[in-house]
């Protein structure tokens, strides 16, 4: 694993340049340019807030703040946007860069690194916008805000471990990428982001707590909604799963790395 990390580090210039080029290319030629990364999450948050907080009358138990539901929703969307985009981008990373892998002498794991940094950049934009909103409304959580970094790290590790494993399999079975997109849609609604866990029947809630994304989302909601430090013990499960997935990804990549280019 150390050798793999060293191999990626040697191509750090290529990785950073690719991230900058990809970000610029995504919005080049548009009238709003760099405003699009802000508009996409804003529209999503506005729609969910209007539908669930206003039309359906959703309220958070014990929270009477007029911004309570918006903060609850956005805190979950911040970490989910990172997790979902990182996983989705990682799964197809080898297939999508097949020509480069065949022509350019670059470490194969440089491409998952590019996907990871791009997803982190997008999540950073959303998080910054969220913090500005919290500051403007007087809802900054204080020192528990420091816990956001390790929570996002655990979310990234979980997505990268699963993503790299699936990316390797996807080279040989191309349906994996399409299936992942479908699974992510179900996964989102099986994670209490839009609705509070208290709104679910007790039996359903117990089952959903096995969802590894739930402790991560709940940690973000503890920080931003409750203004308290997350329960670190609850994050042991997604962290342990992330480590196991990283080991599986390492084994799969190690065995199949030499066959990847031939299959592409």
**pTM of this structure:** 0.84
**Tens place of pLDDT for every residue, the chain, 264 residues?**
455 556 566 767 777 777 777 766 666 655 555 566 667 777 777 777 677 666 555 566 666 667 788 888 889 989 998 999 899 888 888 787 777 766 666 666 777 788 888 888 888 888 888 888 889 888 898 899 999 999 999 999 999 889 888 888 888 888 888 899 999 999 999 998 888 877 788 888 888 888 999 999 999 999 998 889 999 999 999 999 999 998 888 787 777 666 666 665
pLDDT computed for residue 90 by the predictor: 86
CB-count burial class (<10 Å; 0-12, 13-18, 19+) for 156: buried
Let me know: does 113 contact 121? Beta carbons within 8 Å: no
- Tokens representing 234 are 């609850």
Full DSSP string of 39-97: HHHHHHHHHHIIIIIIIS----TT---TTHHHHHHHHHHHHHHHHHHHHHHHHTHHHHT
pLDDT computed for residue 184 by the predictor: 93
pLDDT computed for residue 43 by the predictor: 77
pLDDT computed for residue 257 by the predictor: 64
CA distances in angstroms from 154 to 62, 219, 236, 259, listed in the order given:
28, 11, 10, 30
pLDDT computed for residue 145 by the predictor: 94
pLDDT computed for residue 110 by the predictor: 76
Instruction: Give backbone dihedrals phi and psi of 131, rounded to 5 degrees, phi first.
Output: -65, -35
């Amino acid at each position: 694993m150390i050798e793999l990390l060293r191999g990626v580090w040697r191509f750090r210039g290529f990785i950073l340049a690719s991230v900058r080029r990809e970000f610029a290319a995504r919005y080049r030629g548009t009238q709003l340019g760099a405003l699009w990364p802000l508009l996409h999450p804003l529209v999503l948050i506005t729609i969910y807030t209007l539908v669930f907080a206003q039309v359906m009358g959703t309220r958070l138990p014990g929270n009477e703040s007029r911004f309570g539901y918006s903060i609850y929703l956005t805190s979950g969307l911040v970490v989910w946007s990172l997790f979902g985009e990182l996983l989705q981008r990682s799964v197809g990373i080898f297939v999508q860069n097949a020509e480069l892998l065949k022509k350019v002498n670059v470490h194969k794991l440089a491409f998952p690194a590019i996907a990871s940094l791009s997803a982190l950049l997008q999540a950073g934009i959303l998080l910054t916008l969220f913090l500005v909103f919290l500051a403007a409304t007087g809802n900054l959580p204080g020192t528990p805000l420091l816990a956001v970094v390790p929570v996002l790290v655990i979310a990234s590790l979980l997505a990268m471990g699963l993503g790299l494993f699936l990316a390797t399999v996807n080279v040989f079975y191309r349906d994996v990428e399409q299936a992942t997109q479908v699974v992510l849609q179900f996964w989102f609604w099986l994670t209490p982001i839009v609705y509070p866990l208290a709104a679910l029947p007790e039996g359903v809630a117990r089952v959903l707590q096995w969802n590894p994304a739930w402790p991560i989302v709940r940690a973000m909601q503890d920080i931003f909604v409750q203004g308290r430090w997350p329960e670190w013990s609850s994050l042991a499960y997604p962290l342990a799963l992330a480590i196991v997935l990283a080991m599986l990804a390492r084994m799969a990549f190690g065995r199949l790395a030499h066959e990847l280019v031939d299959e592409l």
